[in-house]
Structure formats: C-alpha cells, structure tokens
Structure 1
Amino acid sequence: MNIFHISLNNLKRRKVKMIFLMLGLVVGVATVIALTNIIQAMHIELGDRIDEFGANAIILPRTEGMEMNYGNNVGSDLYLDLQKLTMDDIPKIYESSVAEYINIVSPKLVGAVEAGDQKTIIVGIEPREEFFQKPWFSLKEQAGNQDNLVFIELPEDSIILGSAASEALNMRVGDQVTINQQTFHVYGILDELGSEEDGLIFANLGVVQELLGRPGELSMIEVSAYCNSCPIEEIAMGLEDAMPNSRVTPLRQAALFREETIDNFSSFGIALSSMVLIIAALVVLTTMLSSVNERTREIGIFRAIGFRRSHIIQIIILEVAMVSIIGGIIGYFSGSLMAKYAGPYIAQIQGDIPLQLDLLLPAILLSTGLAIITSIYPAIKAAKLDPAEALRFI
C-alpha cells in the first residue's frame, strides 16, 4: 500500500473531521472570492461610468443667500435667491473662453405633471443633442423603424417613456396619454437603465416649456467636451465666468467620488478576508492537532514497520492537500454565487457580476497553501513521535 492510498483511507475513516476542516477552508476562500468579484465589478462599473461621463459638466442656476431686513432693525432673515437659466444663456456657452472644448450642449427643463391620474416628472429635451450625448440610451419599443435615437424626429405631440414610467402608467407604444390636459402619443419606451431616467417622461423642450407655463426657461444644461482628457475643471470655470447666474459641476467628479468609496470598501474587504482566513487557519490547525493525537498508535505502527519521519509528514500533508483542493473548488463556486446574487445589492452595482474563471486556480492555491502551511506543525509533531512510546498504548 503506497502513501497515497494510506492518506485516502485515513480521510474515509475520519470523514467528520475532514468535512469540518473543509468547511473552514470553504468559508475562507468563498469570502475572499466573493469580495474580489464584487470589488472587480465595482471598478469595471466605475470605468464605464467615467467613460460615459467623459468630460461632461452640468450647468445649474446659481443659488445665493441674501439677507432680508425688517423695519426698525427689529430682525432679519435669510432667504435664497434662485437665479434662472434661459434659452438666452446657450449662446454664451459658445462665446465663452472655453468654447473650443465644447462639443454638445443639451438644455433641459424638468417639472412635475399629471399623466393620466398619476403625478410624475417630465423632462423637456432637444432629442438629437440628448441622445447623441447619451449613446447608452436605446429603445426596447418604438414607433417606426428608426434604430438610432440620434436621428429620431420626435413629433410635437409625442413622448418617450422610461421603462419604469411605462409600467407605472401601463402604457405601450402608440397609446395615448393626457398630460396636464394635453394629449400625447407614446412614441417609444427606453430600455431599462437601472437609474432615475427609468421613471421619467421625455418630450420636446419647447412643448414642455409651454406645458409647464415656463416659456424660455431651463432647469439645467448638460455640456459635453470633445474628449475625455479635456480639462473639465478649466471648462467649468470658463463657463461660470461666461454665465454668472449659474454654477457648473463636472459630472466626472461623481464617478471619482465613487472611486474613493470603492477604495474604502476594498480596505474593508482586505481586513475582513484576513480575519476569516486567520479563523480558517485556526480551524485547520486544531483539527490536524486533534487528528494527530487520535492517531498516536497508528503512527507508532507505521514507524515500527519502517516508515521514516518524512513518510509520516507526507501522509499528513497529502491528506490536507486533497481536502484543501476540494475546499478551494467549492469555495470558489460558493464565493462566485455569493457575489453574483448578493453583490449588486451590497455594492449598488447595476447589472450582473459574471463568473471569473481566472480566479479558480488562485482559489485552489489559496486553500491548499493555507492548509499545508498550517499543517506543517502537526505533521512535524506526528513525525517526532517515539514509536516505542506510541506502541505502549496498544
């Protein structure tokens, strides 16, 4: 009987202990794989968001605090003076000192309306600029055969619904809906984006301005530069200089703030994984020490019939290696499933987390390496047993 068969038979005879040892490794590896998958998915999503935002900036009306005094200096109060954006501000963008960087200017007006018997939010847009600026927008349902949103001619009496808005209003393409006592046709329905746009209604800017009784007014202006590497902070300052009634916020900063959040989550993940791996190592150590103590007589017999110390060490290490390989495989799939189903909720990730097959080998190596290193001391202890002392208990 060779060393491999001896190790295999020992595993069969001590199933409960080996299963307990394997569970410790599975929990440790699964935790590491799950956190690694989630963090990788967060970084990928962050990269996608930065690419989508590019060097975009959003222009909003400037809000200023002003002091209002009452008669005879009895007291004073603070109120907010909200400046307005209008269509007249758009030419100022093209006349600004940073006009050479400007690619797309997409003005919007946002307001609350009654659609059917529900209150919802409508956004007035200039369709070509809006959809050219956001190429990730696509229609799952549409009137006609226009696949490219950039070239859609949205009629004045038509609207486009977000996926959640279409479900809330129970509307499909071609249906009619009354918005603030005016009838519109549903031209198209956007694919689900997993963001606030899903719950919005989109219509032509001029139509919404008239519908809300706010002719010429704008809620915001989104600006895109020609390139992702354009100096967005410089663009923001140049636009504020040209439009004193506005404040300009680079959208890219929101993605960079999320990068800081990911870094913090990564640090937490490393700390948590380290703690779980330490616990797994302790489980392996105590299990193997207990196994060695139970096998004193068996080891004494092996030594008495000619097995060397190196053979005893090989038997124990081989047992641990076989268990740890299986534990690494189970831990990999368990961690991947945890990341796939729990990750989007834990990390607020849009979309699924795919199976990372390239992590299978590292998972097995992590499990095997941890188990073997932790088992070295029990293996050496077993090899040092005096065969005469061990055989006294037979």
Structure 2
Amino acid sequence: EAELAPVDPSAAPATVEHTTVLYLQVAAAYNLINRDTGVLGDVSDPYVVAQVGSMTQQTPVINNELNPVWQENNQFSFNIVDHSADRYLELKVMNSNVMKDDSLGSIRVDTRSIDPGQWHHYRLKLEEGQGGELEFDVFLKPAAPCKPQQRADELLGQAEAEMSKFYPHGFEGALPLLRDGSPSKALLHVFIEVEPQGVKLARRGSGHRRTGSEMSHSPRMGGHRRTTSEMSFVSMRSGSLLYGPTGAGKPQAVPEIAATAASDRQPPGEVKEADKSVLQIRVNQAIDLPNRDTGFFGDVSDPYVIVRAAGVEQKTPVIMNNLNPVWEEGNLFTFDISADDHIVELKVMDSNTFKDSLLGSCELDLRSIQHGMWTSFREKTGGGELVFDLFFKPTECA
C-alpha cells in the first residue's frame, strides 16, 4: 500500500464570500489499465483531470506507473457558484501520450451527497477502468453567513392611502407612486389585511398582526395619512424599487418578505426571532412529469408541489391535467429556519380523489447554497424536473 501524504486543510485558499468551496486532494490510483506497449517497462503515464462545472485542474503526469501516488501539486479548490451547473465533481484518470491522451477511467461525485464541514476519504472503482481505482479526499465548505453589505438605497417613490381605502375591509390593488410629492407613472401593487379589534381571523401563518384599533391609536401616526412605509404591520405582496450597486443606475426589483410586527411575532416557548434564519422558495414549473392517471381524453396527472422545511409543509395549488405545469399564483413560501434545520424537501404530487400519488421529489441542504441572494434551480426529481428559486438569509453572525 502506498504511503500517502495526509490532507492539509490549511493549504486550500480562503473561501470567496457567499460562495461554497469544494477542496480536493488526489492521493493515488491502483491497478490502472496499461495503454502503452508494455515493452521494457513502457506502461501508462497517468495523470488526473478534476472538473467542476467549466473549471478544470489536473495533477502532474507520473511516467510508466500503474499504481501512481501524487504528493505534489495535487490539491485543488473549486468555487461552486451555480448549484446546477457546478453540481458534479468529475475525476478522469488519463494516460499521457505524444499525440492523443487515452482515458483510463473516470468517477463522478454529486457534491450534494458530501456532508459539509469535514474531510471525506474515498477509494472508488473507476468507470470503464477495468478494475482500476482512484483514492482522493474532499472537503465541502459552505458559504459562511455574514452581515449584508451596507449600501445607500435611493428612494424611487412612495405610495400613500387614506384609512378609508382599506379599513375595515382591507384592500388589494395598485397605488400610484409619488416622487418628490408628485405622481409618477409607476404603480405599486399592494395587498392589505385588517383584523378588527376583538375578531379572530384565520391565520395564514403564526405571526400576529396588529388590529385596526391598534393601528388607529398608534401615537406616532397622529391622525395623518399612512404611507406604505409606515404600514409595517400589514401583509404586502409587492417588490421594492431600489437602486442597487449592480443596477448600473437602473432600478431593480428586490423580493421582500411579508412584514409583521416584530415584537408580536414570537409565540411563547419557541426559538427567538433573532436566532432564526429566513428561507423563501418560489416554485415556478415542472417539466416532463410522469402520467399517473388514465391518459384517456387528456386525463393526465394533476400536479401540485409540497415544500417542507423546519417541520412545516406548504403547497402550491393543483394544476389539472398537465405534465408541464407552470405556477404563477400561490407559489411563494416563507419559512423561519433555526440553526438545526438544514434540509428542504420538495415533493411533486398527483392529486386524486382518494389518495394522492408521488410524481417525484428532491432535497437541498441549506448549508451548501449561496446566502443572501436569489438562486435558480432545475432539479431532477426521479420523475421529470422541478424548476424553482430559493432565497436564504441566515441569522447574522457577530
């Protein structure tokens, strides 16, 4: 057995902020195929090519050796930026030749199967390697949660509404945006719910919303018209228009989490809000789903998606008779995530009269995704594909 150098975590470069990094150390290969003449010790001259997404790195060539050991220039790091394109670590053992190099076998590792935060040792058989094996170590370092960068936002406009417009029945519609006190062409779509004093309305979430009476008696309101920035206690389906550093002077839509009164949001006995992270998932569409229905006269699967995180399940509406459904309403979900909640599960289901059937599923580990920004995913579910967007904002570190 070859004498291998131990992995050295300190040898890898530092993590890029908000980016997951995969570290790799190639150790050795065993019982490789001989692709050369075999005369007078002329056997394969192996080296290893490592690839994640479009980034490729390789070890040095070791001449005339079917059991090579790499001890120099064998440590690599890869920044995982796109979690779909950068999902797999591919390792190819090659035979170096003057004209064209030959393959001695390959291995493919799904990075999402790697438990982050520790080194993992592998010795795996090479595909099409005729019994050859490759030995290597990997370490997956998830993006570290950090405080977002401070930036100066520019106000593009504000909307105002008289109390009578939404009290007592609530309001949903478009309000004109004012800029420097004058109307602009822009509109802000808002959805406002009002809970009258003493009346318990059905909750869509666990958070308490201030009542209409509490609103009208708030000392800081003073009887003047309430602007949308002051109405922090209402639920709003909208986006804020901001100038961001990447916008190059153009407005961009920034998805917002539905606001509630922070002081009232914490039920007794649960984790404090400051100790929780925020997860948002928007389910967009499914592709090439299997048919679990009769197939006669257009009778195909009636899909919907269940999203489960932190022990809570939420689901999209059912779309009837469609193997390529697109969700545009009721498809955005918000979860409070504690430090021990890492796994998000998405199940595509077929709605039936008696018992719903599973069309496919996928899982994500929140420790291995980018933080503080929306990321798009297109995941195989074992029965078609699921397209969704995810935003994860961990609790700020000190």
Whether TM exceeds 0.5 here: the answer is no
Bigger helix share: 1
Higher relative contact order, structure no. (Cα contacts within 8 Å, ≥ 6 residues apart)? 1
Q: Which has the higher strand share?
A: 2
For normalisation by structure 1, the TM-score amounts to 0.22
